[in-house]
């Protein structure tokens, strides 16, 4: 399971992270087709000093699957 911090402090790195996740998934699929992967997006709780009303503690972006073609993207 890829677990990614997508809070504002990570914004400048997200394009690189998206590419690295795709690269890692491709490498895993090439080495072992039956390995299951998924993608979980974490942010702040939607209350308190750091959290915004539009945040979430976690959001499942791609369920765990062995399908290498399954989408695992942020901000679909």
* Residue with tokens 């290498």, as numbered in its chain: 68
- The pLDDT of residue 76: 40
For 19-68, the pLDDT digits (tens) are 888 888 778 777 776 888 888 988 887 777 777 777 888 888 888 888 76
- The pLDDT of residue 66: 81
Mean pLDDT, residues 11-25: 85
* Residue with tokens 């702040």, as numbered in its chain: 44
- Measured in whole angstroms, how far is the alpha carbon of residue 23 from the centre of its chain? 13
* Pair 7, 43: CB distance under 8 Å: yes
């Amino acid at each position: 399971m890829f677990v990614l911090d997508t809070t504002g402090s990570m914004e400048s790195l997200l394009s690189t992270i998206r590419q690295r996740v795709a690269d890692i998934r491709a490498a895993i699929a090439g080495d072992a087709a039956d390995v299951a992967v998924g993608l979980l997006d974490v942010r702040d709780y939607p209350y308190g000093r750091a959290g915004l009303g539009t945040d979430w503690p976690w959001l499942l972006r791609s369920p765990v699957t062995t399908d290498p073609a399954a989408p695992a993207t942020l901000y679909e």
